[in-house]
Copies of this chain bind each other. A is one copy, B any other.
Amino acid sequence: MTPPRVVAFQGEPGAFGEEAARLLLGRGPRLLPCESFAATFAAVGRKADACLIPIENTLAGSVHENYDLLVAHRLFIRAEVSLRVVHCLIAPRGRELKSIRRVLSHPVALAQCAGFFAANPRLEKVPFYDTAGSVKAIVEQRMPDAAAIASRAAAKAYGARVLRRHLEDHSSNYTRFLLLSRSAGAVPGADKTSIVFSVRNEPGALFKALGVFALRDISLAKIESRPIKGRVWEYRFYVDFMGSLREERCRKALDHLRELADFARVLGSYRAWRS
């Protein structure tokens, strides 16, 4: 796999997406900040060779918008990376914790720090569109009584100071990101595959679909369901299984699935992340 030169991510510089990109790809590629997940997907093939998008978090769950965008776009998963999320309380230099009254951050980050807010009831939670963007805002707008919750990298990106680390309620706070590009070619060492499919609305249809994997001793890592727009109470299923499409049993499982499914698409075979 040729390493991508330009990788799009959602958020401001210092966002967790940027940190994940560096963890997966090192200092090589140039990183392109995008406003939204839709813009991040759309950048691939234009301003970027690849994009890195969050797909799930161990506390908040799946990022459903990105599951939908995977079907709307024709990109392939090339790699995954799992990032330990450490939330820091960040303020402009020279500010002390006792002067803080308001704390800006993305609503998911605020929700993951509920214990910190319970222990500090004088602090008001202010929802903001982005974690790193909240650091940018408190620094650029010189808010006198405001702090932000974001990564240490965000503090560094805006010359701000980390007042406290590990604000998160659970230490098992990880976000899994996917690297996507237009290339469908084989990834060396691929051992995990993601697919999306739908089945006829019949008794046992999902059970039979999962049977194509279970009967071949293929382990599932995840299953996710999403509504199909325009069809009431019908769902599309996303399955991650262990194995690559270079293995015959995995190809056979997929052939078998196509006998049962009314729609099936491979989203990519890639190397499972091991930290």
Q: Which residues of A contact B (CB under 8 A)?
A: 56-61, 64, 170, 172, 174, 176, 203-204, 206-208, 210-211, 213-214, 217-227, 229-233, 235
Contacts and interface: CB of A to CB of B under 8 A. Distances in A.
Contacts of A219: 203-204
Given A58-B232, A61-B226, 4 more contacts: A59-B229, A172-B232, A203-B217, A204-B214
A274 B172 CA distance: 42
A57 to B, nearest CB: 7
B203 A207 contact: no
A235 B227 CA distance: 19
Contacts of A64: 61
Copies, count? 2
Contact of A231 (B172, B218, B229, B232): B172
Contacts of A172: 229-232
A176 B233 CA distance: 9
A227 B61 contact: yes
A257 to B, nearest CB: 13
Contacts of A235: 222
A56 B226 CA distance: 10
B203 A223 contact: no
B217 A170 contact: no
A233 to B, nearest CB: 7
A20 B231 CA distance: 21
A150 to B, nearest CB: 20
A9 B214 CA distance: 42
A114 to B, nearest CB: 10
Contacts of A231: 58, 172
A206 B227 contact: no
Contacts of A204: 213-214, 217, 219
A172 to B, nearest CB: 5
A163 to B, nearest CB: 26
A214 B207 CA distance: 7
A61 B238 CA distance: 14
